[in-house]
Structures are given as structure tokens and as C-alpha cells.
Amino acid sequence: MEEQILKYENLPELRKQFRDSGVTTESQNRMPVFEPSLKPREGRRVYEGKYGRMVVEGRLGQAHKNLLEVIFWKKEIHSFLEINGKKHLKVLYDERKVLKYLSQKSEYSYGRYRGLLKDMIRTYIWLKTEKLEIEGTLIMEIEKSEILRPVKSRSPIIPEQIPLKAITFGAVATALFENELRFTYDPKKIIRLKSGVSQALVRFLETQMNHPPAGYHLRELINNLVQNAEGQKWKEIRRNLREDAELLEDLGIIINFKEDRLFVINNKIML
């Protein structure tokens, strides 16, 4: 992406040269890199499970995941660049389009948006899977691009052109998008879910190729996302899932809370 010689109108043709980036990768959805909560805690999280091991120092939750997926869903273009001898994923996107997409009943807070990005810049991750071992941050830097998007408006206070934003991703996100299976889906229906554990659960299920006809054991499924889910914590998880039961059913996910079993209708999550 040579920004200095590109114009906004050139991007559609240029996109054809790149493989679809997807909106996420397998480890980001199969492991709790993003805490299954909309209000993640600041601190150090250690996890070891079926899909790998990780240590996260900082704060990452499903709100961060929502923002990251929307940026990839609404991106203008992406590419892999070499910076100081290291490969980095770079994504150009329109900030206004992302904020508008994230807005549901009310306007999405710009301050919240900036806060989530700052968390993703400073949070440090160590991750080990069968495919890779990597450490670093998700995002390295965010800056204004030299590519300007024309704006259709008659208002004298709105500029005729606005710069796209450019995110340069850090070692972890770059390695995951370069080496893992990528998944493409519209994150809108996931964002509608009220609880972080529901959002994380749908994301996990989306990475599974086939779902057992007899259903999943709910507790075993949740253990991929929340370790030591016992006592009051388990009760809270079940309560959150109950509150999202109708929206989950719209996605093809039915939970039998009496037997603690989860079923995916027709072997497909409907995102």
C-alpha cells in the first residue's frame, strides 16, 4: 500500500489483489484472548486449554473484540508490510463508518472507541498454539492515512474530504492473521447480544467445522472460555445465557438449561 500514490477511487481495484483478511482468526475465537465479558478487568490472565496457552497482561474483552471485528468488516483495504525487517499487517478504514456501524440504540461514544484502541495498543500477550508461539501487542500504532475519502455534504462545517485511519498491527495480530484460519462474518448479530459470555460463546462455535447432533455439554463448552466456572460464577454465566436465549436462538443456538446442553440447529451458526 503506497499511500502517497493512491487515491480513494483506486482502492476497489486494488482490493482484488489481496486475499480476504477475514474479521478474525481461530485462536482469537477459540481461546479467551478477549475475556468473555463486556467489562473486562485490568490485570494478568493466564489460561491453558485444548487449543493452547496464553498470558494476557492488560485489559481485553468482548467490547474490544467487537470493535476489532467491525474495523476488519468495514475496512477499505489491508496488506502485509515489512517495517524494520519485520512483517506487519496494516488496515485502512473509515472511522465514521466504523462508529456508525457500532451504534445501536444510541450513538457510539468516540471516547469509548479511543479507549478500546488504547487498551489494544498497551495490552501485552504471550500466546502458544500448535501452529505458533508469539508475544507482543495486537496494535502497534494508529495514524491518519494520506488517502482522503470524498464526503457528500452540503454543510459548510463538514470537510469535502476526510483522511482514512491506518492501523499497523503488532506482532500478535499480524502472526495470527498471517498463519491461522481466518473467519469472515458480519459481527452485527454478535454485538446485539447482551452479555460478553454469549458473544464469546458464539464466536467459539463459529470456528467449529461440525457440531454434534446430540449437542454440547454446556459446562465443557464454557470451559474453553472460562476456567474454573464453578459456584456463583457458573450461576452468573447461566443467567447471562438465559437473558440472551432468544437472540441466541435467532442465531441457530438452542440451550436446554434443565440438562445444560447446547444444540446448533442444522449444524450452522446463522451470522
pLDDT at 212: 96
For the stretch 213-235, pLDDT in tens is 999 999 999 999 998 888 899 99
Angle at which helices 110-122 and 95-102 cross, to 10°:
110
- Nearest-angstrom CA–CA distance, 49 and 204: 13
Q: Spell out a b/e string for 239-264, using b for 16 or more CB atoms within 10 Å of the CB, else e.
A: ebbeebeebbeebbbebeeeebbbeb
For the stretch 26-75, pLDDT in tens is 999 999 999 999 999 999 999 999 999 999 999 999 999 999 999 999 99
pLDDT at 41: 93
Q: Is the pLDDT of residue 177 over 50?
A: yes
Helix (H/G/I), strand (E/B), else coil: 142? strand
- Nearest-angstrom CA–CA distance, 117 and 77: 19
Element (H, E) at 205: helix 196-206
Say which amino acid occupies 229. Answer: A
pLDDT at 1: 47
Lowest mean per-residue pLDDT among 11-20, 33-42, 186-195: 11-20
Is 100 within 8 Å of 148 (Cβ atoms)? no
The neighbour count for residue 130, using CB atoms within 10 Å, is 7
Q: Where are the domains of the chain?
A: 3-183, 192-267
Helices and strands (H and E) in the chain: how many? 11, 13
The neighbour count for residue 136, using CB atoms within 10 Å, is 17
Comparing 105 with 246, the larger pLDDT belongs to 246
Lowest mean per-residue pLDDT among 4-8, 17-21, 118-122, 160-164: 4-8
